[in-house]
Amino acid sequence: MLTRQFQIKLDVGLHARPAALFVQTCNRFDSEIILKRDCATVNAKSIIGVMGLGVADGDEIELMIDGSDEAEALETIEQFFEEKMKEK
């Protein structure tokens, strides 16, 4: 299992379009991907779950990835956040 913390630096947080793109990215992998904010955890492959967390600009999140392609998933998600944060 791999874990990584991120600080969200997106004006709209992880809502609407960024959330949809994040979920699409996570769904490319077989690994289980869990998104945690504060005490709440959700399946990162669920748009309803991700949007339900209400992740705002400046919030800290943690990803927990477990599975056969976990390293590739983590690397891809890191790239996703780097690209999205540059768009801010």
Q: Is 77 exposed, middle or buried (0-12, 13-18, 19+ CB in 10 A)?
A: buried
Helix (H, G, I), strand (E, B) or coil at 29: coil
CA distance 35 to 73: 13
**The token pair that represents 62 in the structure block:** 């943690």
Q: Which residues are catalytic?
A: 15
